[in-house]
Structure 1
Amino acid sequence: MYKLVFFVPAAHCEQVKNAVFDAGAGGQGNYGHCSWQVLGQGQFMPLAGSQPFIGGLGEVEIVDEFRVETLCPEECVNDVIAALKNAHPYEEPAYELYQLASI
């Protein structure tokens, strides 16, 4: 089992969550579409060669974003990451993937 953490602009949070749920993430026992999220601010500066969804080249941008955490079974990790990248508005979405220990 893995935990997927990703960061997404507030306006796109539900569409991205639904994409990763549809790809197999978000299960917890007898429940589906499970996640935890908190609103914060992300900061980035698009560099030469980028095609930013928000902001301009060489300008620091601060955006209201959600940090979303959800569980992901090993057998669908690749599908879930592909769904995340496909549904996310950013050229390079920020995400983390942690393998969880079974105890």
Structure 2
Amino acid sequence: MPRQHRHLVTLAACLALPYIALYARCTSVWRITGSWLPSSAAQPYQGTAGEVQRAEECRVESFCERDQAATVLTAVRAAHPYEEAVVHFLPLYDPLSAPDVD
């Protein structure tokens, strides 16, 4: 996402979540270079349809429980400026809370 939107989008995601243990608003942010090619039918937030674009952006990472994912996705998409916000939910393995497997 564009860097100028990172606070708004992150806030939207975090407000959709309760505390994680004793903490709230747990996120990591990376500066990245994004690239994309909008189709001729697209109305890109940045750049021109039909031309490859590159721009400095931010990637935001956080975590939530499985049953919270739909709420977080809805909040992020509502706050995100792009037509198609890329949002991934990846399951994580916690060896301290996983059942023993022999």
TM (norm. structure 2) is 0.85
Aligned residues: 95
Query: 1 or 2 for the larger relative contact order (CA 8 Å, sep ≥6)?
Result: 1
Select 2:7's aligned residue among 2, 14, 27: 14
1:5 aligned residue = none
Q: Which runs of 4+ in 1 moved over 6 A?
A: none
Question: Partner residue of 1:24?
Answer: 17
Deviation at 1:101, TM superposition (A): 2.2
Whole-angstrom distance in 2 between the partners of 1:34 and 1:89: 22
Q: Contact conserved, 2:45 with 2:83, CA < 8 A, in 1?
A: yes
In the alignment, what sits opposite 2:32?
Answer: 40
Based on CA coordinates, which of the two structures has the bigger radius of gyration? 2
What TM-score do the two structures reach when normalised by structure 1?
Answer: 0.84
State the shift of 1:29 in Å: 2.4
Structure 2 stretches of 5 or more lacking a match?
96-102
Corresponding residue for 2:98? none
1:78 matched to 2:70? The reply is yes
Where is the strand percentage greater, Structure 1 or Structure 2?
Answer: 1
Query: 1:70 deviation in Å?
Result: 0.3
SS of the aligned residue for 1:95 comes to coil
Partner of 2:84: 92
| 8 Å contact from structure 2 (residues 69, 89) kept in 1 | no
The alignment status of 1:49 with 2:41, answered yes or no, reads yes
**Equivalent position SS for 2:89:** strand
- One-letter identity of the residue aligned with 2:4: A
Which amino acid counterpart does residue 37 of structure 1 have in structure 2? V
Q: For residues 2-45 of structure 1, what are the alpha-carbon distances to aligned partners after superposition, in whole Å with 9 as ceiling and x for unaligned?
A: xxxxxx210100000000001117x4421110111110110111
